[in-house]
Amino acid sequence: MRVAKACLISLFWGTLFCIVYALARPATGSAHNDGLGTIHLMNVIFVGRKTGRVKQLDLRHPVVVAAAVALVFGIVGGAFSIGVSLGVHHHGANPIDQLGSWSADLLREQGQIEAVRRSLQEKVNALAMRVGQMNANVIRLDALGKRLTRMANLDDGEFDFGNPPALGGESADGQPAQIPNLTAMVDDLQSQLSSREQQLGVLENLILTRELNKQVYPEGRPVQEGWISSYFGRRADPFTGFSAVHKGLDFAGPEGTTVSSVAAGLVTYAGERAGYGQMVEINHGNGLATRYCHNEKLLVKQGDMVRKGQEVALMGSTGHSTGPHLHFEVLKNGSQVDPLRFIGEDR
């Protein structure tokens, strides 16, 4: 385009130069010598068809010559401009340029493919994360199931949480899983796992509550050795001989025999009390408490948490006592009740 513009500018200045040159020359006619001494003028005669008027055009006149030259320059310049335009157009269809355009298109398509690949990889990563979370839930459920099996004292083979459950299929028909269907399947399975986890959590809480109640409920003998020397109820007082109410059970045995708590609880008293000697009182909740009296030595102190079967004292004969024995009481809502129904023995 720059070349065509330069050519048009050159043509304009050339034509202008010819016109100025022609106008600057004197308008004298030019003749042609035919070699015979006769001078002929080069004219073109025009005769009007209707009027018959005659006009002459001197072909050697400077204006005519300048116009001819300008016409020639115009034709040549137009042809040159057309050629330049065709050359530019032809240059635009250069195979090298086409190759560059194709390369750009290929790079753009590769970028689109890479974007699709990244999007698909993100979806796969999200799905893998979901599967990992589900796997963690399954591991927790397996551990919870094993713990519940042990807590419920079930047979090992009844609930085997170490192996997948046995499944069966009566039909081989089916279709390959697609990604949208697979996502829906994962969502449904995760929902089922969450529901099962909640159900097992509720079951665990129930079993723990049951076990806790068993632990805090007074049950069993406070001494493994010895015998019941006096029951709950009215009897003759061993010191005065008068009738009196005995509010516990007496277990006779060798001095120093270990005394154990019949339930888990909190030690609310540990020390000397009038008539009871060295005494331990344990609160088990739900309005239940136990007392262990006439001990030689206390093994716990006030504020201690004790578990079921833990040793709390050594049998002795302190306080109002005639010999080594344990006076055992069970209190319900602050009042003594017969301990026999808690230790599981009859009179």
Q: DSSP 3-state assignment of 4? A: helix
In the prediction, which pLDDT does 217 show?
Answer: 82
Q: How far apart are CA 38 and CA 130, in angstroms?
A: 116
Inter-residue contact 329 to 336 (CB < 8 Å): yes
Residue 155 in tokens: 């047979």
Instruction: Say which DSSP state 165 is in.
Output: P
pLDDT at position 293, please? 96
Q: What angle do CA 285, 289, 293 make, to 5 degrees?
A: 155
Per the DSSP assignment, residues forming a β-bridge with 252 are 227, 325
CA distance 282 to 265: 6
pLDDT averaged over consecutive 10-residue blocks of the chain (347 residues)?
57 58 49 48 62 66 69 68 62 64 81 86 78 74 71 58 55 54 71 72 70 78 88 78 84 94 94 94 92 96 93 94 92 92 75
**Structure tokens that stand for 34 in this block:** 């035919």
